[in-house]
Amino acid sequence: MQYKWVLFDADETLFHFDAFQGLQLMFSRFDVDFSRQDFAHYQKVNQPLWVDYQDGKLTASELQNIRFEEWSQKLTVSTQELNSGFLSAMADICQLLSGAQELIDALTGRVNMGIITNGFTELQNVRLQKVGLSNRFSPLVISEEVGLAKPDVGIFNHALNLMGNPDKASVLMVGDNPHSDILGGINAGIHTCWLNSQGDEQPQGIKPNYQVSTLCELRQILTQSLTV
């Protein structure tokens, strides 16, 4: 299959997302020694919020504020200041995943590339600029701006509209989350590739067109198909 479009998730698909390191850096700027125990407690609050966000039960703003409410009270700073500080720290430490640069370089000029992310606006453009990739992806579809999060078909349809509504068989969605990236892509009628770097079991009822463990493996598949 020769694809004309490849859409990527951002976090843990193109970019390494080390939330603990980002929180450590952010809290160090408030003179707080943020520990692994602190992180475990933060995740107990944060992870269910992301499920609710993807299910459309929370807005991006609600998620961003609720997850920092306890720390806001402890430090007597606003939840918005803490959230912005966290996203700024994540931009400061951002790194591409292994093989991402090589994959992007191999596809540049041969297919159109876009991003659909449930991440937040404040981080996305800064991060792409920092790694020199801001001109490689269009559209850049951010759930916070659209008001819908993957796996909602609406965010995929929004991206397809921005792309000029290409033949869906010519579009591949690549992501690490089978429930948001892969199921969302399947429901939108496009092909999907699950980046399963942890060797997880495939969830029942979710069948991607491809499953790879590394971006290098994906690059080999795509570059071979583009030469056929």
> What residues act catalytically?
9
Judge if the upstream peptide bond of residue 48 is cis by omega within 30 degrees of 0: no
Supply the DSSP string of 128-146, one letter for each residue: HHHTT-TTT-S-EEEHHHH
Secondary structure letter of residue 196 according to DSSP: -
Q: Are 218 and 199 in contact (CB under 8 A)?
A: no
Residue 14 has a CB neighbour count (10 Å cut-off) of 30
Amino acid, single-letter form, for residue 125: N
Q: Are 183 and 202 in contact (CB under 8 A)?
A: no
Instruction: For Cα atoms 100, 164, 58, give the angle at the middle one, nearest 5 degrees.
Output: 70
